[in-house]
Amino acid sequence: MFLEKMLQSQGFGARKHCQQLIKNGAVEIDGVVVLNPKEKLKIEGLEFQVYGEKYTYREKVYIALNKPKGYECSHQATHHFSVFDLFDDILLNRGIQCVGRLDQDTTGLLLLTDDGQFLQALTHPKKHVPKVYKMMTVDEITDEQVQQLEAGVELRNETGIFAATNVTRLSANELQMTVHQGVYHQVKRMLAAVGNKVESLHRQQIGKFDLENLAEGEWIFLTEEQIQRAKQRDEI
């Protein structure tokens, strides 16, 4: 691939802008400034620098963010920050999108990607990738509520029954459960349907990919193995 095309594919702007970066001597490969925009490159595993900043060539990007409170999953956030404020222009230029949504007041695992197929695979209603949520509730969680959540509840304006699996009371007001769909405000509505109320909500896991100890506001690029884990549809 030509150097100028490679830079463009990685989010460094229009072809003309990339040519200019190269001609300005901003781009280094293996410690050598490359001034030829048409330099032919092997892109596999390619590492390069732009103005001294290190980058790795990625055909597509897969990002796991620990979303903080107060961030919306939309580009034009109205009342809060946008999760896209947490990323630099290089990544934004690639057109990364959220894989599903979290409410502004929900924390935890949010995936972002510029791979449309991956996005489809994880958000398609028929694919049922399980997601693990932890929550604090306003009222103490009763045995009956746990049973109702496992048996399934109806949600207004939605078809079908919404059941959770692995519903586990972690303490009197703290619950963990796995859900298999992804309708609007699903967890909050399920808790309301059994007569309780979510006070705070956190997503811990998608498929078999666990957020582990990523700090709030931090993000990582997923490895191939982590991408496969996030797609896992087996019961978790």
8 forms part of the interface with ligand URA (CB under 6 A) = no
188 forms part of the interface with ligand URA (CB under 6 A) = yes
103 is catalytic: yes
Q: Which stretch binds ligand URA (CB under 6 A): 55-63, 89-97, 112-120, 185-193?
A: 185-193
- Pick the catalytic residue from 85, 89, 103, 143: 103
Q: Among 5, 80, 169, 185, which residue interacts with ligand URA (rule: CB under 6 A)?
A: 185
106 forms part of the interface with ligand URA (CB under 6 A) = yes
Question: To the nearest whole angstrom, how small is the minimum distance from the Cβ of residue 131 to ligand URA?
Answer: 8
Question: To the nearest whole angstrom, how small is the minimum distance from the Cβ of residue 186 to ligand URA?
Answer: 4
Give CA 101 to chain center in angstroms: 8
Cβ partners under 8 Å of residue 122, min gap 6: 99, 100, 111, 129, 206, 207, 230, 231
Distances (CA, A) of 51 to 28, 63, 86: 8, 24, 21
169 forms part of the interface with ligand URA (CB under 6 A) = no
Question: To the nearest whole angstrom, how small is the minimum distance from the Cβ of residue 107 to ligand URA?
Answer: 9
